[in-house]
Amino acid sequence: MADHKVLAGAHVVLPTGIVENGRVIVDGERIVGATSQDTPALDLTGHWLVPGFVDMHNHGGGGASFTSGTVDEVLKGVHTHRLHGTTTVVASFVTGEMDFLTQRAGLLSELAEQGDLAGLHFEGPFISPCRKGAHDETLLRDPDPADVRKLVDAARGQAKMVTLATELPGGIDSVRLLAEHGVIAAIGHTDASYEQTVAAIDAGATVATHLYNAMPALGHRAPGPIAALLEDERITVELINDGTHLHPAALELAFHHAGPERVAFITDAMDAAGFGDGRYMLGPLEVEVKDSVARLVEGGSIAGSTLTLDRAFKRAATVDGLPVEAVVQAISANPARLLGVYDRVGSLEPGKDADIVVLDAEFNLKGVMRKGAWIVDPTA
């Protein structure tokens, strides 16, 4: 009975809606559907129970970089985000030399194979120099399908997503290649026109990398990629809800046009997430974090974020006023579906991993369970 847990009395958010005074029953690593009436229960009256968060775009945390850190440092970064409710995380790489990226892919694919990561995401080097953001322009290259295939192969089946400026030479063919290999082709760091973006979606792209950021602004005569990405039902849009990357009206616009079923909240976090202000390296570029906002030392461009998904959840539910069910969909269910792991995580249903986040009435994080074990004990 030591591995048998009953969490009772909370508002439980399920795919079918919110259950008041609900019970979530855990046996070992899984959520189950029944228990004896005399099983002791943890009383969580007044709290919320939601699925563990799923972050499909994350560069590090706790002072550790997924692009350049040692295995131990990468695991430290993963643990930092688990402490903030992210029980499933994809490791994202920034632009680097091809040989370096293939080496990193091989190294971190082992962590994905053993379940510490949910896969790998290559954000670059196949992006537009016009919209490079915090990427080293000298290392950028066109998305030659042979190079894209080289990175996918190096990840040994653990490549989940590649961000591309699909208007560049080879972009459309690379989208088709990724789709054929079951890897998400994400449109981002792009200077594409509306028409070029539509062509990439028709070729198989399914995600917009941090919508609005690192792409042309929405225009009334030249609508650019934003309009194409918002209007197409085949696209899920990533949003960084930290209060810095997006104005609340831009977030509202995305939810209005895409709906909660086509939004994925991400952190785009770098080393400083869960760690603090100071100077850091993002790939080969130096970043200064001040008042929790990360910017390149040279040029001042925003350089990822220091966001954790518990903060994104609270902001969405309070400042933005989104329904809790919609927030859960965007922060857990949608990214889990995109990553192909919704059979295991992303909702509080029997048979799934017992990945659970406990929030208080004000949506502050109070507990985190991963595979049936408390990482943050709500009774502590």
Quickly list DSSP for 254-274: HHHHH-GGGEEEE--B-TTTT
| Listed range (106-120, 149-163, 278-292, 337-351) with the worst mean pLDDT | 278-292
Average pLDDT over residues 341-355: 98
Model confidence at 39, in pLDDT bands (50, 70, 90)?
low
Model confidence at 2, in pLDDT bands (50, 70, 90)?
low
Write the DSSP assignment of 42-60 as a string of letters.
Answer: EE-TT-EEEEPEEEEEE-E
Report the pLDDT value the prediction gives residue 3, as an integer from 0 to 100.
80
- Does residue 189 have a known ligand-binding role? yes
| Listed range (237-241, 279-283, 339-343) with the worst mean pLDDT | 279-283
- Does residue 210 have a known ligand-binding role? yes
**Is it the case that residue 33 has pLDDT exceeding 80?**
no
- Does residue 304 have a known ligand-binding role? yes
Report the pLDDT value the prediction gives residue 276, as an integer from 0 to 100.
86
How many angstroms separate the Cα of 227 from the Cα of each of 183, 235, 240, 307? 24, 11, 18, 26
Q: Is 43 a catalytic residue?
A: no
Report the pLDDT value the prediction gives residue 1, as an integer from 0 to 100.
44
**Is it the case that residue 36 has pLDDT exceeding 60?**
no
Helix count and strand count (H, E) for the chain: 10, 21
Predicted confidence (pLDDT) per residue in 264-313, tens digit: 999 999 998 999 889 888 878 888 999 888 898 988 888 889 999 999 99
- Does residue 317 have a known ligand-binding role? no
- Does residue 134 have a known ligand-binding role? yes
- List CB contacts of 74: < 8 A, sequence separation 6 or more: 60, 64, 66, 91, 108, 111, 116, 117
Average pLDDT over residues 217-244: 97
**Residue 41 vs residue 162, higher pLDDT:** 162
Predicted confidence (pLDDT) per residue in 307-328, tens digit: 999 999 999 999 999 999 999 9
Predicted confidence (pLDDT) per residue in 171-187, tens digit: 999 999 999 999 999 99
- Does residue 73 have a known ligand-binding role? no
**Is it the case that residue 100 has pLDDT exceeding 90?**
yes
Q: Which domains does the chain have, with CATH numbers?
A: 4-50+346-376 (2.30.40.10), 53-339 (3.20.20.140)
- pTM reported for the whole predicted model: 0.96
C-alpha span between 49 and 23 (Å, rounded):
9
Q: What is the dihedral of CA 62, 67, 71, 77, to 10 degrees?
A: 20
- Does residue 273 have a known ligand-binding role? no
C-alpha span between 234 and 258 (Å, rounded):
10
Question: What mean pLDDT value characterizes the chain?
Answer: 95
Terminal-residue alpha carbon distance, the chain: 21
Average pLDDT over residues 17-46: 85
- Does residue 245 have a known ligand-binding role? yes
Between strands 373-376 and 365-370, the pairing is antiparallel
Phi, psi for residue 331 in degrees, rounded to 5? -100, -10
Report the pLDDT value the prediction gives residue 280, as an integer from 0 to 100.
86
Average pLDDT over residues 69-77: 97
- Does residue 221 have a known ligand-binding role? yes
- List CB contacts of 149: < 8 A, sequence separation 6 or more: 177, 181
Which residue of the set 268, 271, 320, 355 is catalytic?
268
